[in-house]
Amino acid sequence: QVQLQESGPGLVKTSETLSLKCNVSGVSINTYFWSWIRQSPGKGLEWIGYVYFSGSGSTNYNPSLKSRVTISGDTSKSQFSLKVNSVTAADTAIYYCARLRAGGFDYWGQGILVTVSS
């Protein structure tokens, strides 16, 4: 059974770096694409980007966030990570990690609320 679990600080100061991890279990992290998605309070869903570890690996980011986002991973720990630089209040959201397969997101973590505040 595929399971994903986000972890990281729930509060980040304005202008600092948001860092989250997603632990994957029940499947090899090397086989699929893994994404981060966020949802601002009371708003819709926004795809942030994905990482793929097989072969030489690859990443792809939402152009609106590309300049501030890095997604990477540690396959030995079956984890992948998200970093968002220079955060503002607009980055306050529930952050989800999810598996991307055949064009959609079939397994999701429970989500973690990250609040950006000075």
Binding site for another protein (CB under 8 A): 35, 44-47, 60, 62-64, 96, 100, 102-106, 108-111
The nearer residue to another protein, 10 or 44, going by C-beta atoms, is 44
Strand partners, 4: 24
Tell the smallest beta-carbon distance from residue 36 to another protein (Å): 11
17 versus 54: smaller Cβ distance to another protein: 54
Q: How far is CA 75 from the centre of its chain?
A: 15
The residues, any chain, with a CB within 8 Å of residue 77's CB and separated by 6 or more, are 23
Minimum gap (Å) between residue 85 Cβ and another protein = 21
CA separation for the pair 114, 104 (Å, rounded): 24
